[in-house]
Structure formats: structure tokens, C-alpha cells
Structure 1
Amino acid sequence: MVGRPDLVLELWSDLGEMLPRALATLGAEQGLALRSAPQAIGPQQLEPVQSESKIRYGLMADGPVPAQVVVGVLPWRWAPQPARVQTPDGDVDLVDDPACVALLRACWLMPRPGVAGVVVGPGFFARRGPDSVAANLSRLGLRVINVHTLDRGAFRPAAARGRLLLVLGHNP
């Protein structure tokens, strides 16, 4: 069980903006919203962050940071690409959607106990090869806690047919 987190990380915040609600619900101290591209970050968000502001902004290209809670909406790409995730036990070679690999890295960085609640497409589970992210979750100390099908229109702008709410955590 995750208590009150110090930091909530939102991946691809320009696709769903879940962070403000997550901060309010969880009572978190700070949030980091990672966006797809610099143009997705408004000029006011590039200014130094005011001390009373709970949300900082950054870019997905800079990579995730350790956060006890990860939320977000994965972009719906499908083209698998080779990727390597470095772990203390050695490198893990993957062939999957870069968005799935980025999610895996964010979850792998979560301190224990940590939880991720992200909206994904069915491609997360459809790619079942031995080098897919889904096939390597347990190898990297992660597990699927829950998967919930989202009703069409339940989550805007990203809920349409085939959207899933995926909850990931560390292996016990």
C-alpha cells in the first residue's frame, strides 16, 4: 500500500493531464508533468517554478525520475523498436513500443512501495513476444495489479474503444 507520496510523476501529461487531480486525491507534496515536446509546455511553465506551485514541467525525452506514484496516458504508437534497460542484475533487451519501454523505466525507478496507474491501448498486452515489456515485467520486479476496461468517453481526451486502465506495482 502506498501512503501519501512525496512526488507523483505524470507521463505524457499533454495527452491527459491527470496530475492535478492525482495530487489533490493523494495529498502529494509535488508533481512532475512530463510532456511530449517543448511546444506542449506553455511559456509560463518554462519560468522558474513558484514555491507555492506543486507542479513542475519537463520533457519525456529527459526520462522519468523516481516517483512513488506514476500516472499517465501512453501515446498509441505500435511500431516496436529495440531498447535496452540497464538493471543491477544486467541488461534486459526489449523489442516493444517506445512508450511501453518508457513506462517500464518509470515503474522500475519507483521506490517501494510504488504504484503506477496508466491508460494504455490493448497493444500493451497484444505484443506477447519474449522481448516485449509485458513479458518482462516480473523479470524487472514488476507485476500487473489490475486491468480495467474504460468505457467509451469515461476518460477524456483519451478514452475510446480499447483503452485500458493498467495498474502496476512491485513484486511482493
Structure 2
Amino acid sequence: MVLPPTVIGLVLLNTLGRNSGLGAFLWDRFNFSVIFTLTGAVIATTIVVLPIMYQGVKSAFLTIDQSLIDVAKTLSATPLQRFFRIILPNCWPVMLSGILLSFCRALGEFGATLMVAGYIQNKTDTISTSIYFLIQDGRTQMAVYLAVVNLFIGLVALLVIQLLGKKDVINK
């Protein structure tokens, strides 16, 4: 969470590139490379947002009343039953909020995805990289359009998060 996304992208580039051990293995065995692919962009973005997702899930699990889990144990509920019947139903709004925050952060990811996936138009471009390169090409109106779409998606996600927070408060 403290590393700049560009540094994460550099680490991934050195880890997954064809000259690295893992990258060479993927290329030699499967003729597959994640560098300059949409898969690489997804991997980079996932690693960048993973700390946000982790914190969201952790805080969701901490909201569970321990006495509910203890009661389920006394009633001989298995760990899977406790997880699916007690923990998940009681913390899904907080977990969904974490997922939405991670998604919003992923929409804005630029550094790691550009390092790993590059910018190949209609292949590895993301909203953020497209906006940047549209500005570079002087196509400001299209860049503004994409920025508004990105903003709209983010606002809808934040609205859902707020509604989930109010539902969570109402239920308690």
C-alpha cells in the first residue's frame, strides 16, 4: 500500500518478463507471456488494489459479533457452516463496500498497468491510459468524455457504498 504503482509495475515487469525466471518458464512451457497483454494489466491492477481489498475484508470480518460464532460452535456448526451461515450474511455489506472501493481504485490505475501492459490501442488500453494518450494526441474532447464516464462509474459505486453503509447502520 505504500509502494508507488510504478514501482509495483517495475517489480512485475522484472518478475514476469521473458528474461526473468517465471516469465521465461511461462514462455518456454506455454508460449505465454503476460507482458503487453490484457492479462498483464489485470494482474498489475489486482496487485495494486489488493491491500485495499484486504483491509475491506478484514474490517468486514471484525464487524462480526463473536458471540454469534460461539453460539454456532456450541450448536455443533462446522467451520464452513459458520462461515456461510453466520459470517458472510453478517458482513456482506462491508465486504461489498471493500470490493467497490477496490474497483474504483482499479479504474484509476495508471502506473503499474502502463509498466506491465503498455498501451496498445484496442488491446491493452485502460480508461486511465486512454485518457493520457488521447491528451498526448490532442484529442481532448474524447479524453474528457472518457473522464466523465470514469467519474460517473465512480460516483455510482460511491453511492452504492453509501447506501450499503446506511443499510448496515439500520440493521444494527
> TM bucket by the smaller chain?
under 0.3
Q: Which of the two has higher C-alpha Rg? A: 2
Instruction: Tell me which of the two structures has the higher relative contact order, counting C-alpha pairs closer than 8 angstroms and 6 or more residues apart.
Output: 2
Larger proportion of strand: 1
- Higher helix fraction: Structure 1 or Structure 2? 2
The TM-score with structure 1 as length reference comes to: 0.25
